[in-house]
A and B are shown apart, each in its own frame.
Chain A
Amino acid sequence: DAGVIQSPRHEVTEMGQEVTLRCKPISGHDYLFWYRQTMMRGLELLIYFNNNVPIDDSGMPEDRFSAKMPNASFSTLKIQPSEPRDSAVYFCASSEQGPGGDIQYFGAGTRLSVL
């Protein structure tokens, strides 16, 4: 398996523009997580899905952020409109259901710069 795949790897955009980050989890994994990493806060959990259903979105900073998982092999994180303070590295991770399922496998991340 190729692991968790995120695209794009880098995104540079201007304030006010819409940004869409994409993630393909490992096949067969039932959980999908979106994280944001910043120097100040480390790894913050934004939202996670179980079997394509959002379970906990309490980490989503505000209404400008939205996430979807239309099927088991694809998820998006959208920021509209983007702001400079959204600049960070965004990670997607997936994990299995069941015993030992708490180990998360991370993608390489998307580095977002909002100018």
Chain B
Amino acid sequence: DQQVKQNSPSLSVQEGRISILNCDYTNSMFDYFLWYKKYPAEGPTFLISISSIKDKNEDGRFTVFLNKSAKHLSLHIVPSQPGDSAVYFCHCISSGSARQLTFGSGTQLTVLP
């Protein structure tokens, strides 16, 4: 049972345009959400996060949106750059006593010059 789904395995975007990566979850106990970026032959690195008390968090070109009622979060990158080409994972965490940490399966973003 996949509690966290990234339904798009891949996404191609033209340089300068907006990239939108999506993540859906089923566990209503998740209360903290993160996005990681992964380049080939490297480990994932933290990109941006949001807690369940917010619906938006922005850091430069990166913005994460959270829709709790829809159990959906998205990562917007604008403007997209070729260096953003990587695999993006969403990570959902429940911080209660029964702590759960679940990654999505990842989305390969390719930004075309």
Contact = CB atoms under 8 A, between A and B. Distances in A.
A binds B: yes
A107 B104 CA distance: 19
Contacts of B34: 102-103
The B interface, classified by DSSP as helix, strand, loop or mixed, is strand
A108 B103 contact: no
A49 interface: no
Contact of B49 (A44, A93, A102): A102
A43 B44 CA distance: 10
A-side interface size class: 20 to 34
A70 interface: no
Given A42-B104, A42-B105, A43-B106, A102 B44 contact: no
Contacts, number: 51
A106 B103 CA distance: 14
A45 B41 CA distance: 19
Contacts of B45: 106
B101 interface: yes
Interface string B78-113: 000000000001010101000101111110000000
The A interface, classified by DSSP as helix, strand, loop or mixed, is strand
Nearest to A104: B46
B95 A106 contact: no
A44 B91 CA distance: 11
A41 interface: yes
B43 A4 contact: yes
Nearest to B89: A43
A91 B44 contact: yes
Interface string B36-79: 10000111111001000000000000000000000000000000
Interface of B: 6, 32, 34, 36, 41-46, 49, 89, 91, 93, 95, 99, 101-106
Interface of A: 4, 33, 35, 41-45, 48, 55-56, 91, 93, 102-109
11 contacts: A4-B43, A42-B89, A42-B103, A43-B44, A43-B89, A55-B99, A56-B99, A93-B43, A102-B34, A103-B49, A108-B43
